[in-house]
Amino acid sequence: MPSDRQKKHDKPSTAKKPAKVIVGMSGGVDSSVAAYLLQQQGYAVEGLFMKNWDEDDGTEYCTAIADLEDAQQVCDQLGIVLHTANFATEYWDNVFSNFLHEYQHWRTPNPDILCNREIKFEQFVRYAETLGADYIATGHYVRRSPIPDSGTKPPAGLNETIKILKGSDTNKDQTYFLQAVPKHKLARCLFPLGDWQKPDIRRLAESLGLTNHRKKDSTGICFIGERRFADFLAQYIQDEPGPMTDRQGRVLGQHRGLHQYTIGQRQGINLGGLAGRPESPWYVLAKRPASNTLLVTQNEADLAGRWLRAREANWLGQVDFPLQCSAKIRYRQLDQRCSVSPAADGSLLVRFDRPQRAITAGQYIAFYRDDELLGGANIQIASTIT
């Protein structure tokens, strides 16, 4: 006969099985603490390290090997499994190829936004599903509502109710980078750091004995690393030097190639000591591909513009047109009041209450209602005050 202990174990359990979360582990302190916090909330946590760039060019500008070692060490400390996946092919096809195409057409892309849309919230989500994940999680400083508890599976229709909100740490808020991610993908993601301040995250990591608590935050684009940007582009796009002129068409010098410059750029123009010109700095004003001409100005006010046209809109919140909201055209910019209207061709026309500096084609505009991220779009055409 079975013992009383055996009988007890034969009884069906009434406890809820915790939802399974796969955390994107980068080797940095943010994703490490995110995994710990989810553990404390009762989730069944595993990690996934994503390799997005093949280091086959003889350089060591990406730190994938060291980052993987850091991620593995943290997972060992937390007692969780770390999976690895190589998305280098998908990154090349869906992010890097677009990056090159945009520069070849004299625009200035933002690969970080595409990486989130195509890799972190596309390939990552698909891979996590094969591991049986209910949710994925990242170390982004972003809030979401509603926040599911650890025993809740994603309900049907969740993407209809979810809201993406700015992180509480205004200096680290990363909603701008999520603007192009489809809503149903974000509905499957948890953001444990949304209510935290970055200094508190480092202090917590140190108190836990995590070896990466002092690790420097990653900045810039992995595949460029510490190289000069111009040197990196030269490996893929041939320079075509041409005239550099002022707004009146007077030739001031030669540019290296239009793709090497971005609107509003001040450094690296190499104009100075021109006869009859003040010593004030020069700024890139516009590109004229038809004549391979770069327009520059010493009047920074020339860079100001009130409107832009954007395409490929991705809406995360409820909107009605004409839309009165705030927006930002670059990360860390303060929110700017604007009005948004649809055009007949499906694009968006955005007019700002105040002139904006250096609105740049190829970049992205994110729309907000207070702290809620409403969505975003890709800037196609920008105006300047002339």
Question: Which of these is catalytic: 115, 189, 325, 338?
Answer: 115
Is 222 tagged catalytic?
yes
Say how far apart CA 146 and CA 153 lie, in whole Å.
13
SS3 string, the chain, reads CCCHHHHHHHCCCCCCCCCEEEEECCCCHHHHHHHHHHHHCCCEEEEEEEECCCCCCCCCCCCHHHHHHHHHHHHHHHCCCEEEEECHHHHHHHHHHHHHHHHHCCCCCCHHHHHHHHHHHHHHHHHHHHCCCCEEECCCCEEEECCCCCCCCCCCCHHHHCEEEECCCCCCCCHHHHCCCCHHHHCCEECCCCCCCHHHHHHHHHHCCCCCCCCCCCCCCCCCCCCCHHHHHHCCCCCCCEEEECCCCCEEEEECCHHHCCCCCCCCCCCCCCCCCCCCCCEEEEEEHHHCEEEEECCHHHHEEEEEEEEEEEECCCCCCCEEEEEECCCCCCCEEEEEEECCCCCEEEEEEEEEECCCCCCEEEEEECCEEEEEEEEEEECCCC
Question: Which of these is catalytic: 189, 222, 325, 338?
Answer: 222
Neighbouring C-alpha atoms within 13 Å toward the C-beta of 235: 8
Residues annotated as catalytic (active site), given as ranges: 115, 222
